Structure 1
Amino acid sequence: MTRLPFALNHMAAPGLPLDRFFALAKALGIGSVEIRNDLAGTAILDGTPAAEVKAAAQAQGLTIISINALQRFNEWNDIRASGARDLIAYAHDCGARALVLVPVNDGSGRADGERQANLRTALKALRPMLAQAGIIGLVEPLGFSVCSLSSKREAAEAIGELGFTDTFRLVHDTFHHHLAGEPELFPDLTGLVHISGVSDTAVTVADMRDPHRVLVDASDRLDNCGQIRALRDAGYSGPLSFEPFAPDVHALNDPAAALKASMAFIEAGV
């Protein structure tokens, strides 16, 4: 096993069917994985029963740490409630420990007062659903300027004020943390870290988007190693999950070699 508690998000190799993705994680010495509900041709979208996903993970000795994700979670309505119930049930039945919660990211719901109220409405509605299933809600603020929840402080304040720390945690995404420009780390409330790097020297921070997110190496502009070191020094000991979105990463013929190299670089730097 690796020295750091790495995990693997299916976005690291989205072209692999679930069984091969699980095998990749095991081959890398990684014991934790995140599955997704936005990848065509594989579980969850292809209708694979949760029990099959659970059995496949158990066969490789893997822990499913999350399903990624309930989108637009802070725009609470009947459609969101239905989607949440389905995903929470699937998470429970496949053995996943958490559900990632992604906020509205289209420029709407950003007004001061409105966004805080929307967040609290969603947290209040989700809490009994998550608690009954024994699933943690992982709130993931996004650093994009158009996002309705870009501040981890706002998320932490809402969770704390509502007394919901037993049900909700934050996702520290190294990409979004850098974009948000918010220095606080909230290690005690962090339940998951997503890691990806940006090596393109031409793109400005304001223009960084998901396709720029590559595996972390020596050209990383986001200081992943520094972020991870600071989180761990502050007491975070949870998973560090690879989540690159760049098409050239997804097209790799040998993702294992690239991931192994990135793991080694991060371990040396942390």
Structure 2
Amino acid sequence: MPQLTFALNHMTAPTLPLDAFFALAADLGIAAVEIRNDLPGNAILDGTTPADVKAAAQRHGLTIVSINALQRFNEWSPDRADEARSLIGYAAACGARALVLVPTNDGTGQADGERQAHLRAALTALKPLLDEAGIIGLVEPLGFETCSLRSKAEAAEAIRSVGGVGTFRLVHDTFHHHLAGEPALFADLTGLVHISGVEDSGISIGDMRDGHRVLVGPEDRLGNIEQIKALVAAGYAGPLSFEPFASAVHDLADPEAALARSMAFLRETV
């Protein structure tokens, strides 16, 4: 039985202030966290300095594995470059190891040839910025049909084509992997795994959205257990980061108990 390592994405409990979120992770025995730049009224958007974030993480004995995320990263522009520099600088200053890179997801930039060229251009521009800061870029393909980067194979090819294997890694998201229907895993290029489950039996795969994503349990329809087993068997030894978006999880009175149950389930079944 493999020894699973967990991480906690702030999306698991987005209403908790940063220090309380860090305390939740520590109380669960989780040593790695992901912070986000899309939570109004919370770090990073509330103006919390990276020095304060770093101090809080150290106080709780935590490693910040990533900032989530630079959105629309493959739609490169001067404004995107400025945003990237700001987030990379924040990541370096707060002690985060990586920046998650999320592609456009509105039906644009999907044409064959166009999307590959845009991806390579963005990776080429990001590489020196990330390298100078010592930050890893975590490329996260999304399984939605409207996304401009659905395929991990396409992402891996682009990373290799720009000489970016030392700079970039893939995010394997169990939800998006299931939606994309792409069997290849690329464990050797995977830097982080996001885990969440879908239990609603009345929703088709094509209609699954972030709001359906709950903690992983025995009623999961996404094949989390099979995906994690395959990744571990292929050599992945990094953290499994909880990233549920469902309000049913966000509104829990006792998220610690629910997370502990999900962690126990995964340890017993993987």
Aligned partners of 2:263 and 2:223: how far apart in 1? 14
Q: Give the TM-score normalised by structure 1.
A: 0.99
- SS at the partner of 1:15? coil
In the alignment, the residues of structure 1 paired with residue 42 and residue 162 of structure 2 have an alpha-carbon distance, to the nearest angstrom, of: 37
Measure, in 2, the Cα distance between the counterparts of 1:162 and 1:38. Answer: 29
Q: Report SS of the residue matched to 1:35.
A: strand
**Unmatched tracts of structure 2, length 5 or more:** none
Q: How does 1:5-154 map to 2 (within 5 A)?
A: 5-154=5-154
Displacement of 1:21 in angstroms is 0.2
Q: Quick one: distance in 2 between partners of 1:53 and 1:136?
A: 19
How far apart are the structure 2 equivalents of 1:91 and 1:220? 33
Alignment of 1:167-182 (within 5 A): 167-182=167-182
Amino acid at match of 1:48: T
Q: Deviations over 1:227-255 (max 9, x none)?
A: 01110010000110000000110000100
Q: What is the identity, as a one-letter code, of the residue corresponding to 1:33? A: V
Consecutive unaligned residues of structure 1, counting only runs of 5 or more, are none
SS at 1:238's partner residue? coil
Identity across matched positions, percent: 71
Question: Helix, strand or coil for the counterpart of 2:33?
Answer: strand
The Cα offsets for residues 161-213 of structure 1, whole Å up to 9 and x where unpaired, read as: 22110000000000000000000000000000000000000000000000000
Residue 158 (structure 2) aligns with: 158
The amino acid that maps onto 2:130 is L
Between the aligned partners of 1:225 and 1:66, the Cα distance in structure 2 is 24
The reply to whether residue 255 of structure 1 matches residue 255 of structure 2 is: yes
Residue 205 of structure 1 is matched in structure 2 by: 205
Structure 2 distance, partners of 1:89, 1:137, is 13
SS at match of 1:92: helix
User: What secondary structure is seen at the aligned counterpart in 1 of 2:216?
Assistant: coil
In 2, the alpha carbon distance for the partners of 1:162 and 1:117 equals: 11
Question: What is the match of residue 217 of structure 1?
Answer: 217
SS of 1:8's partner is: strand
Query: Which residue number in structure 2 is paired with residue 242 of structure 1?
Result: 242
Give the C-alpha shift of residue 155 in structure 1: 0.2
Is the partner of 2:20 in helix, strand or coil?
helix
Deviation at 1:3, TM superposition (A): 4.0
Residues in 1 aligned to 2:3 and 2:62: alpha-carbon distance in whole angstroms: 17
CA RMSD of aligned residues (A): 0.8
Q: What secondary structure is seen at the aligned counterpart in 2 of 1:226?
A: helix
Q: How does the TM-score come out when normalised to structure 2?
A: 0.99
Shift of 1:223: 1.0
